[in-house]
Amino acid sequence: MKRTENISPDEKLPYWSRRKFAALVVSLALLAGGLLAFQLLRQDGAPAKSKHAAAGDKSVAVLPFDNFNRDPENAYFADGIQDEILTRLAKIDDLKVISRTSTQRYKSSPEDLPEIAKQLGVAHVLEGSVQKAGDQVRVTVQLISAATDSHVWAETYDRKLTDIFAVESEIAESIAKSLRAKLTPGERRAVSARPTDNPEAYDAYLRGLALWNSLSTSPDTLQKAADFYTRAVQLDPKFAVAWANLSMVQTLNYAEFDPTAQRLSQAKQALDTAMRLQPDLGDGYFALGLYRYRGLRDYDGALEAFEEAIGRGVNRAMSLEFAGYVKRRQGKWDETLALHEQSAALDPRNSIIFSERAVTLRSLRRFAEARAAIDRALAITPDNPLLLAQKAGNYQAEGDFASAEKLIERLPLDKDQPELIGVRYTQWICTRRYGEAARTLETLLASPESLSKYLAAAYRARLGLVKKWTGEAEGAARDLTVARDELEMLRQQSDKGEGFLDSLIVIEALLGDRAAVDLHAAKLQDQIETDAFYGPALEKSIAAARTQLGQTEAALTILRGLLKKPGDSCLTIALLRADPIWDPLRSDPRYQELVETKR
């Protein structure tokens, strides 16, 4: 299971960050519903109420299609047909269509269909199968009423591969007719659209879509998806939807793994091509929103693009969720929570949505509600280690390290999952178990070539900090210097001017470089002022740096403000008391008054 909304690794605090579940992901999970769009927001900023909440009998879930091909590698084709039918249905505003993320958890022909329909909140379920042989394809579908467990409509289509779009359109139109849904002329055109006349280009597109929907977040998966979309547009340069998807993948690759000007330029080029080919393409407007949001951090511009996208109809659940992420960056917390709820109504078995709701609630210091949201996510994906780590971090923020320990004991030690390492590290340092922290970090760094460059630098920085706390001054200086040099090299290679600065600023303070701290703090101010969600975490880095330099007045001024601010992994009195990063302040009466008066 992976998250939808994240910052890239270069934006995270490498050694005292308490963000467990939110880091390092994005990617294909964020677009797990396939081609996405945004829920239209009211002009006053409040989320618009969707017709779908009251859709009643006009509601349907499209379950995974059975793959009847002899070659299991052709499973991507059955998945793609299911996704394309779902996408066409989702463009009909008079229907409530459940997101693919929720439906993928079930098999095509479940034994207890009424119970599944109840879990998904729908009155009807579409089952189907696909068999492909050469240029021939057979698609069999049946629409079932959950209340009676009986067929409403069924059909088998034997067509040539070149007619697959007509099949997808006929199925969507037949379902709409069976459910008595009203289609506008624009919706009818969208449902019957033929995105390409090239079967090979469509095949490459479906292969990319299968990777897109796989929920994998690795750089390799993103690149493979980009390669298939590139192949699709090479075969058909007028394939606008493939261009839009290519832009999305390139934007995500930029935001998560490759923050270079070249990668962002590739995203923009694909985006411009999609919009030139089809100016009214909803997927193109979503790609524009994503580019502005993750590529440019232009939050107002992103919402404008997403509002344009929703009017053209694509998947709604993740669109609502992404609207929430943008609103969260703008500090519009109540609107964010409302969008989480609306998203969950259309994607009720997506644990990511409930995890993200917990992140928002944790940002508001509403810990009991945050744990309840995590428990809902765990009910969908039991024992998921990232969710367990998130819940442990919630307990740590409240100062309940005993409850956190019980959860941490259940976590695997995975060097490639910084969220799992981070929650352990927080537990060790806040309970002053420096030996355990040092031994684990040294083990992780024994084979640095097996780690990403960022993780190797982040783990080394943490090790240097632990050595400083245990009095190993020479070893601490050596590790911190190496970590600084590695992070600075990554920053120089990055297209994000402030990238890695939140990590570097504390390392520079630990090494006594006041000038570098002042320079980095100045460069972070713009993001602090414009990002209500991550800004406080950056301020916390500056406060930690000022603390290490002995600039007590400046540090305490920042901390007083942070205790009143919501935000990602926001500071709490419990963590202010427990974290050794604040040890230099403990003898100051003003610090003592700060932590005592907030009990």
Domain residues of the chain, as ranges? 33-346, 495-599
User: Which residues have CB under 8 Å from 297's CB, separation 6+?
Assistant: 527, 530, 531
Strand partners, 143: 126, 153
**CB 571, CB 562: distance < 8 Å:** yes
The per-residue pLDDT for 37 is: 31
The per-residue pLDDT for 217 is: 62
In the chain, what's the furthest Cα-to-Cα distance? 80
Closest CA to 82 of 48, 53, 55, 106: 106
Residue 558, pLDDT above cutoff 50? yes
Residue with tokens 């007083």: 560
The angle formed by the CA atoms of residues 515, 516 and 517, to the nearest 5 degrees, is 90
Q: Mean pLDDT lowest for which of 45-54, 511-520, 545-554, 571-580?
A: 45-54
d(CA 591, CA 584): 10
pLDDT digits (tens, 9 = 90+) for 6-51: 433 333 333 333 233 333 233 323 333 332 332 223 333 333 434 4
Tokens representing 283 are: 């997927």
User: Of residues 527 and 42, which shows the higher confidence score?
Assistant: 527
Closest CA to 80 of 244, 169, 192, 204: 204
Going by their DSSP bridges, the two strands 124-133 and 136-145 should be labelled as: antiparallel
Say whether 60 sits in a helix, a strand or coil: strand
Closest CA to 461 of 528, 511, 514, 520: 511
d(CA 120, CA 66): 20
Q: How confident is the model at residue 215 (pLDDT cuts 50, 70, 90)?
A: low
Q: How confident is the model at residue 224 (pLDDT cuts 50, 70, 90)?
A: very high
The per-residue pLDDT for 378 is: 95
Residue with tokens 């927080």: 426
Q: How confident is the model at residue 5 (pLDDT cuts 50, 70, 90)?
A: low
pLDDT digits (tens, 9 = 90+) for 472-515: 999 999 999 999 999 999 888 887 667 789 999 999 999 999 99
Helix 282-290, helix 317-329: angle, nearest 10: 30
Q: How confident is the model at residue 597 (pLDDT cuts 50, 70, 90)?
A: low
Classify domain 33-346 at the CATH topology level: Rossmann fold (3.40.50)
Residue 103, pLDDT above cutoff 80? yes
Residue 468, pLDDT above cutoff 60? yes
Q: How confident is the model at residue 323 (pLDDT cuts 50, 70, 90)?
A: confident
Rg (CA), the chain: 25
The secondary structure of residue 36, as a DSSP letter, is: B
User: Which residues have CB under 8 Å from 421's CB, separation 6+?
Assistant: 413, 414, 415, 440, 444, 459
The per-residue pLDDT for 313 is: 64
Residue 433, pLDDT above cutoff 80? yes
Strand partners, 96: 59
User: Of residues 416 and 428, which shows the higher confidence score?
Assistant: 428
Say whether 57 sits in a helix, a strand or coil: coil
Closest CA to 452 of 30, 27, 26, 24: 24
Going by their DSSP bridges, the two strands 124-133 and 150-160 should be labelled as: unpaired
Residue 235, pLDDT above cutoff 70? yes
Mean pLDDT, rounded, of the chain: 86
User: What torsion, rounded to 10 degrees, do the Cα atoms 444, 449, 453, 458 define?
Assistant: 20
The per-residue pLDDT for 420 is: 92
The per-residue pLDDT for 161 is: 84
Average pLDDT over residues 522-535: 94
**CB 219, CB 253: distance < 8 Å:** yes
The per-residue pLDDT for 151 is: 87
Note every long-range contact of 380-383, with CB atoms under 8 Å and residues 24 or more positions apart, other chains counting. Answer: 380/105, 380/349, 380/350, 380/351, 380/354, 381/1, 381/351, 383/410
Tokens representing 201 are: 């280009």
The angle formed by the CA atoms of residues 47, 49 and 53, to the nearest 5 degrees, is 135
Q: Mean pLDDT lowest for which of 206-220, 328-342, 465-479, 542-556?
A: 206-220
Q: How confident is the model at residue 163 (pLDDT cuts 50, 70, 90)?
A: confident
The per-residue pLDDT for 28 is: 28
Phi/psi of residue 60, nearest 5 degrees:
-150, 145
Phi/psi of residue 138, nearest 5 degrees:
-120, 125
Helix 367-380, helix 351-363: angle, nearest 10: 170
The per-residue pLDDT for 16 is: 31
Percent of the chain residues topping a pLDDT of 70: 87
Average pLDDT over residues 582-599: 88
Sort 446 into a burial class: Cβ within 10 Å, 0-12 / 13-18 / 19+: exposed
Strand partners, 144: 125, 151
The per-residue pLDDT for 451 is: 84
pLDDT digits (tens, 9 = 90+) for 372-409: 999 999 999 999 999 999 999 999 999 999 999 999 99
**CB 98, CB 121: distance < 8 Å:** yes
pLDDT digits (tens, 9 = 90+) for 265-320: 999 999 999 999 999 888 898 899 999 999 998 999 998 888 787 767 665 777 78
Residue 596, pLDDT above cutoff 50? yes
Q: HEC states along 467-495?
A: HHHCCCHHHHHHHHHHHHHHHHHHHHHCC
Sort 25 into a burial class: Cβ within 10 Å, 0-12 / 13-18 / 19+: buried
Closest CA to 18 of 505, 544, 425: 425
- Give me the count of residues in the chain: 599
Residue with tokens 């009643």: 56
Strand partners, 29: none
d(CA 369, CA 381): 19
The per-residue pLDDT for 577 is: 96
Query: What does each C-alpha distance from 119 to 375, 418, 497 come to in angstroms?
Result: 16, 33, 46
The per-residue pLDDT for 49 is: 39
The per-residue pLDDT for 135 is: 84
User: Which residues have CB under 8 Å from 471's CB, separation 6+?
Assistant: none
**pTM of this structure:** 0.80
Closest CA to 122 of 142, 150, 103: 103
